[in-house]
Amino acid sequence: MRKDFVFVLAGMIPLVCAQTLRKPPPGEGEVSDGLPEWNDQELEALESGEYIPGSSLMGKLAREILDSETQEVIVLDPAIQEIAEEGPKSEEWSKAIGEEYFSAYFRGGGNGYLVDPQELLATQEFRDREIFLNRHARDFIIDCHFYLFDGLQEIPEEESLEALVESHFEDDNPLAVVFYFMGNPRRSQLVFSNRVVDVVKLEDREKVLRLAIEDALEKSDPASQLDIFSIQLSIGLVMLEEIVTKEGGSLLGGKTFVMDEENRPRPNQPNLWDKLISNRWVSNTLLGIAILLPACLLGFRVRRIINKRKTYVFPIAEGSGLLDAPHGAGVGGVLSFVSSTASPSSQKQDVPDYLQKI
């Protein structure tokens, strides 16, 4: 049964192929494949423009639009056009800090390491930064306080960061206070307490702020800028601590190490030279040294010249007959100068010749 089916199928395949490959003879109509067919009348109507393809699908409206000579332009509602883009009402609006925030900013009303009474940061962003600054304060010596302002806001003339640090922070605490302007890190201000100023060079302090601003500017988003700024500032403060420690100073009190001491004027301190000159004994001693030293040098020089010309005559001795040698058997050192890297003492030949041969 199965063999019979195979034979029947094998016989049908050539027939099917022949039917498929057969081309209709010229003049013979195409075999219908189920698609709509054009008749001659429709073709004439299409060529004359009476028939529009797709009109049956697009309906009456499309028919009217297509039949019309001019196409209608869709125009926005004039009422909508009149709505202006919302923006700052004036330049002063963005620069001024509301007086209601003054107490939080400049009267010590703000608590914590991050002061943002204007709520420039979203709640989550504020929490993240606050947590970071708290951790920094817990782990390191120099605390860091941030006061956030809008990018274009101006600090009132009667207020300043220095005044804020002097009035509301204790000098004994090592800390850094920053006025940070959101979206505009270049305007950032940084002031250290006197404890830090006493032990850290100005250039190092400036470098901390500069590096923080440079890193912050690599970001475009104001919140990200603040993140990077605070992180870089934290790193910079840690570096300052390391510098002070390396130089033998301390930020925690006790021994005060003053690096800028050389540059500080000392108007009332008398000069060491003046002190010495004023002492009669010291001045006489210095005078004596000034006379004696050249004399000693001269004497030393003369003695050297005399010694150079000096002759050394040894006592007359009677020799020995060591090794039956008539004149001498004083065998001294033997030095090899083969290696330029080895020391002379390592190139001393102090073994018998027969061992050298071995």
Partner 1 sequence: MKCPRCVQKIHLGASSCPHCGFSMVHADGVFGSQDIKLKKFSDVAGVVRMKDREPMRKVLENFEAKFPQLFVSVYLGAFEDLNSLRQYGFWMLNRTNYVDVDAQRPNSTGILILVDVNAKSASITFGYALMPYLDENSTFEALSAGHPFFLQGDYLKALKAVIEKLEIPLVRGWRRVRKNPIEVLARGGQTLKGYGSGQKKTGASEPSSGKVGRGEG
Question: Are 193 and 171 in contact, with CB atoms under 8 Å apart?
Answer: yes
Q: Between residues 203 and 350, which has the closer beta carbon with respect to partner 1?
A: 350
* Rounded Cα–Cα distance for residues 174 and 194 (Å): 8
Q: Between residues 138 and 309, which has the closer beta carbon with respect to partner 1?
A: 309
Q: Between residues 270 and 330, which has the closer beta carbon with respect to partner 1?
A: 330
Q: Between residues 245 and 336, which has the closer beta carbon with respect to partner 1?
A: 336
> What residues between 271 and 310 interact with partner 1 by CB under 8 A?
308, 310
Binding mask 314-343 for partner 1 (x = CB under 8 A): xxxxxxxxxxxxxxxxxxxxxxxxx-x---
Distance in Å, CB of 209 to partner 1, minimum: 56
Distance in Å, CB of 301 to partner 1, minimum: 18
Query: In this structure, which amino acid lies at residue 277?
Result: I
> What residues between 19 and 58 interact with partner 1 by CB under 8 A?
none
Task: Output the CA–CA distances (angstroms, integers) from residue 257 to 175, 191, 206, in the order listed.
Answer: 17, 20, 19
Distance in Å, CB of 346 to partner 1, minimum: 11
Task: Output the CA–CA distances (angstroms, integers) from residue 120 to 85, 223, 293, in the order listed.
Answer: 22, 9, 76
Q: Between residues 49 and 330, which has the closer beta carbon with respect to partner 1?
A: 330
Q: Between residues 286 and 329, which has the closer beta carbon with respect to partner 1?
A: 329
**Residue 181: which H helix or E strand, with range?**
strand 175-181
Distance in Å, CB of 349 to partner 1, minimum: 6
Distance in Å, CB of 342 to partner 1, minimum: 10
Binding-site residue total for partner 1 (CB under 8 A)?
42
Question: Are 152 and 94 in contact, with CB atoms under 8 Å apart?
Answer: yes
Distance in Å, CB of 313 to partner 1, minimum: 5
**Residue 114: which H helix or E strand, with range?**
strand 114-115
Per DSSP, the three-state class of 183 is coil
> For partner 1, which stretch binds (CB under 8 A), given 71-79, 156-164, 216-224, 344-352?
344-352
What sections of 49-122 are H helices per DSSP? 55-67, 78-81, 91-95, 102-106
Backbone torsions φ then ψ of 176, nearest 5 degrees? -125, 135
Contacts (Cβ under 8 Å, ≥6 apart) of 62: 54, 55
Per DSSP, the three-state class of 192 is strand
Backbone torsions φ then ψ of 148, nearest 5 degrees? -100, 135
Distance in Å, CB of 212 to partner 1, minimum: 56
Question: Are 201 and 244 in contact, with CB atoms under 8 Å apart?
Answer: no
Q: Between residues 7 and 337, which has the closer beta carbon with respect to partner 1?
A: 337
Q: Between residues 253 and 315, which has the closer beta carbon with respect to partner 1?
A: 315
Distance in Å, CB of 322 to partner 1, minimum: 6
Among 156, 288, 294, 344, binds partner 1 (CB under 8 A): 344
**Which residues would be at the binding site for partner 1 (CB under 8 A)?**
308, 310-338, 340, 344-345, 347-354, 357
